[in-house]
Chain A
Amino acid sequence: MTTETPPRPRKRTSPDPSLPRLSALGWVRWAWRQLTSMRTALFLLLLLSIAAVPGSIFPQRNIDSGRVADYIAQNPTTSPWLDRLGFFDVYASPWFSAIYLLLFVSLVGCIVPRTKVHIAALRAAPPRAPARLSRLDEHDEVVTDLSQEEALDVAREVLRGKRFRLHSHDGASLSGESGYLRETGNLLFHLALTGIIVGMAVGHVFGWRGDVILPEGTRFASSAGTYNTISPGPWVDTETLPPFVLGLDRLDVQFNEAPGRAFGTPREFTAYTKLQSEPGAPATDETISVNHPITVDGADIFLLGNGYTPVITVRDADGEILYREATPFLPQDGNYRSVGVIKVPSASPKQLGLTGFFLPTAEPTFVHGPASLFPDAKDPELALSIWEGNLFPGDAPQSVYTLNTDEMTQVAKADGSPALIRLKPGQTYEIPGDRGTVTFDSVKRFAGLSVRTDPGAPISLVSAILATLGLILGLTIKRRRVFVRVRAAEPVGAGVDSPEGDDRRPATVVTIGGLSKDSDAGLAAIVAAVHDRLAERNDRS
């Protein structure tokens, strides 16, 4: 992002014989110049902003892979192409990465030489005053009866008060420069941006996250195998995760019950937990709520979700308990219509699978299918269909929240229609064909907890703060140069402006000129200040 504009290419209508042929190194150098030019940076910035947009329009795997799957199912013609081009994973796609990497290469290629130039400028004296200051944007002239040295001293005093760095290259001129912090700020800003990227990379490589669903009244001991899902960075040793134990006593949940637009919106989620830093250590009471994570051993524990775990018992025809568990059902909408699966591999003669909905406040008619009217458990109901056959075809690993029905058949009633279980708490359903019973014992809540470490976050945070600081300096401070030249006034009589009266002292003409790179409202005021002080001194003497 060098400020100098690259020279415009000459007309290409006829090949210019005087242009030397570029060697391979020459082309590399040319490409480098192009990449690090301000125009390229500008183009890449605009390209980056356009490239980021699709990620907000198409569902993204890193946010919600379920929605991506739905989208692909609904758009069978376009989605394979979109998928191939990375539109469901925009921020990890080659084209998005290419843009920001080029941008950062361009940025580094720009700040390194600029830093050198800036350091040299910090050491160097302000440049020699131009001969004709009247050509500068801001300029002024005053005739005074001070001597040339005195006039320069006055100017020096004024400019020093305005924090100019001053130097006289000769006895008749003064050069001043201020606003070095502008470039310092610019460089700091761009350097800090690379710091943010470094922090992100460190977090990606050394950070990890594990998610766990914890029903009320249960405990969880952290280790690589106990999380429902764990995504460690490539350099994380999953054997060294903090070994804390977390028990969920109670999850308090409140929803808005006042009618209106906000009906059913969440009001409060608080998890009351017992935390041990390692198995056997004394337990402390901790509450986790949204916006208030707790920290243990460098890992933060967040409350990110909640839902219901109906306690369901499945018995065989003899009344023997085959399954009794608080089974998490995952909420699908704002009213917590939740889906879940119960797998009973020990059932005979065939394995049993139940799949369906938990509805915290069931809409009784099911006219539009199973639906919930309110997120709190006001009138809970289970609605399940029953399948039998092989639960684990090919013994392939599968999610606990989906039922693979490839090798299963749905259990039907005597009349041949599919059997549908609808149960309120405490009720029991007899599976047709003397296959046993299903009982809906009670409902508990679960807390969806996420445990995360991101060692790169502090690097990014500090960098971001420095970047803001640099930005403020770089945008608000003005780089200014002010020059003062003195010369003896023309002989008395010729100058109309010479001081009145019989003055023996030789008059001095002082020219002041100001220069700024950007449009600068304050420059005129500085030139005026020098002018006015000189004029004032003149009046007094």
Chain B
Amino acid sequence: MNLAANANAALYASMIVYTLAMLAFAWHLAARAPQVAESRAGERDEVREDVLVGSGGSGAPRHRTTRYAAGPGFEESIQSRQRGNIALMLTYLGTALLVASVLMRGLSVSRPPWGNMFEFATAGAAAVGVAYSVMAKRNHWEWLGVFVVTPILLVLGLSLSVLYTEAGELMPALKSYWLAIHVSVAFIAVAFFTIAFAIGIVYLVRLHREEKPPARPNFMESLPSSAALERTAYTLNMVAFILWTFTLIAGAIWAKQAWGAYWQWDPKEVWTFVIWTVYAAYMHSRATAGVDHRKSMYIALTGFVCVIINFTLVNLVSTFVGMHNYSGVG
């Protein structure tokens, strides 16, 4: 069997495993829900203790837990923990299969495997999977899994059904080592933007429920506090923003080499710039004293909408005709 066919087989396999992971994450959330009612009071105590830590003045060094992204402040049931572990294992496996698929695709054509939209989408999904897998265990992000694996599955499904392109040679404009640099940093940035977006949405819901406590608590009440979620989203967006800045600059250097001018307001350049300014606005608003974090988060979410427009409409709709016509579709 050839490598390209193996790559596709691995892709299908990863989708199956990811589907199981998604179900397991949902199953995990279901196990978290009933715990909440009893543990909410406990959570509050724990936070208080954390704040007051140190005033006791005992001499021995104590083990400190930072509240930062430290996961639920409630006693997680063994059942929920087990299910979370199963879901994480499945995610690791699905991610490994997806990464293998991307690698085999790259080997089969002897070039970086992100030369058209299908390849960009699968490589981007793999980056999301890897980023989540690396960070999930340490930060107790089992609750986040369903919000990360579901979009991965959506992207993989769409890329197979709509964007699929046979493995092949690159068009001349893409034959450059900048493809490896510019495009890979771009989709790693998108991976961080995606996870930050998922956390941002969860943050808004969590904040709403904190302000108006619902009659029946569910798994949302077992998540880290809205303030912790907001900080995590900010950190991820910050990393992504730095990577996006690099993408923009690397793209300009490549454009100079390929097209003779580093900036020509090609639609892709325009949207990369728009995304950059929107997230720059988010960074500013987050740093401005007196601006509600919720408002800042709306700006970040708008930024992610621009990321999606940049990848879909700008690549596929003929209104945005420009020089970045590498979709391989149509």
Contact = CB atoms under 8 A, between A and B. Distances in A.
B66 A524 contact: yes
Contact of A143 (B57, B169, B274): B57
A41 B288 CA distance: 11
Contacts of A91: 265
A141 to B, nearest CB: 5
From B172, B231, B246, B283, residue with most partner A Cβ within 10 Å: B172
B284 interface: yes
Contact of B289 (A3, A452, A457, A468): A3
A465 B253 CA distance: 11
Interface in B128-157: none
Interface residues of B, number: 70
Contact of A56 (B245, B267, B329): B267
B173 interface: yes
Given A63-B322, A143-B57, A471-B245, A1 B64 contact: no
B314 to A, nearest CB: 7
Contacts of A48: 277
A290 B171 CA distance: 10
B54 A41 contact: no
A261 B59 contact: no
Nearest to B270: A56
A465 B260 CA distance: 20
B175 A290 contact: yes
B291 to A, nearest CB: 8
A96 to B, nearest CB: 10
Contact of B169 (A267, A460, A527): A267
B242 A472 contact: yes
Nearest to B164: A261
A83 interface: no
B265 A60 contact: yes
A527 B321 CA distance: 56
Given A4-B289, A461-B253, A290 B173 contact: yes
B320 interface: yes
B277 A468 contact: no
Contacts of B287: 3, 38, 518
Interface in B285-321: 285, 287-291, 299, 306, 314, 319-321
A52 interface: yes
Contacts, number: 177
B6 interface: no
Contact of B61 (A59, A67, A289, A535): A535
Nearest to B263: A200
A407 interface: no
Nearest to B288: A38
A497 interface: yes
Given A45-B281, A464-B249, A56 B172 contact: no
B33 interface: no
Interface in A310-328: none
Given A56-B270, A63-B264, A140-B54, A42 B328 contact: no
A450 interface: yes
Interface string A124-149: 00000000001000011111000000
A315 to B, nearest CB: 39
Contacts of A134: 55
B165 A262 contact: yes
Contacts of B265: 55-56, 60, 62-63, 90-91
Contact of A260 (B166, B273, B285, B314): B166
B1 interface: no
A262 B168 contact: yes
Nearest to B310: A56
Interface in A510-538: 518-519, 521, 524-525, 527-528, 531-532, 535-536, 538
Interface in B53-77: 53-55, 57-61, 64, 66, 68
Contact of B259 (A267, A302, A519): A302
B280 A5 contact: no
A428 B262 CA distance: 47
Nearest to A207: B261
B277 A52 contact: yes
Contacts of A114: none
Contacts of A278: none
A369 to B, nearest CB: 20
B205 to A, nearest CB: 20
Nearest to B60: A535
A475 B166 CA distance: 42
A293 B273 CA distance: 26
Contacts of B328: 261-262
A414 interface: no
A394 B246 CA distance: 54
A105 interface: no
A260 B166 CA distance: 8
A39 B284 CA distance: 9
A45 B66 contact: no
A501 to B, nearest CB: 13
Interface in A288-346: 289-293, 300, 302, 304
A143 B58 CA distance: 8
A258 interface: yes
Nearest to B179: A291
Interface string B173-191: 1011010000000000000
Contacts of A56: 265, 267, 270-271, 314, 320, 322
B17 interface: no
Contacts of B271: 56
A375 to B, nearest CB: 12
Contacts of A260: 166, 168
Contact of A475 (B57, B238, B290, B329): B238
Given A269-B172, A290-B172, A302-B260, A53 B274 contact: yes
Interface string A460-479: 11001101100110011000
Interface string A488-516: 00000000010100000000000000000
A256 interface: yes
Given A57-B320, A141-B57, A209 B258 contact: no
B180 to A, nearest CB: 13
Interface in B229-257: 231, 234, 238, 241-242, 245-246, 249, 252-253, 256-257
B266 interface: yes
A150 interface: no
Contact of B171 (A267, A304, A465): A267
A49 B242 contact: no
Contact of B68 (A4, A450, A521): A521
A405 interface: no
A170 interface: no
A538 B59 contact: yes
B30 to A, nearest CB: 31
Given A42-B284, A532-B61, 20 more contacts: A3-B289, A49-B278, A52-B270, A52-B274, A56-B314, A140-B54, A140-B55, A141-B57, A142-B57, A266-B172, A290-B173, A291-B176, A468-B242, A468-B245, A468-B246, A471-B245, A497-B59, A518-B287, A521-B231, A539-B60
The 6 closest A-B pairs by CB, nearest first: A140-B54, A56-B267, A49-B277, A290-B172, A56-B270, A521-B68
25 contacts: A38-B287, A39-B288, A42-B281, A42-B288, A45-B284, A53-B270, A55-B265, A55-B270, A56-B271, A59-B321, A62-B264, A140-B53, A261-B328, A268-B172, A290-B175, A291-B178, A291-B257, A291-B258, A304-B259, A304-B260, A471-B245, A476-B238, A497-B58, A521-B68, A536-B61
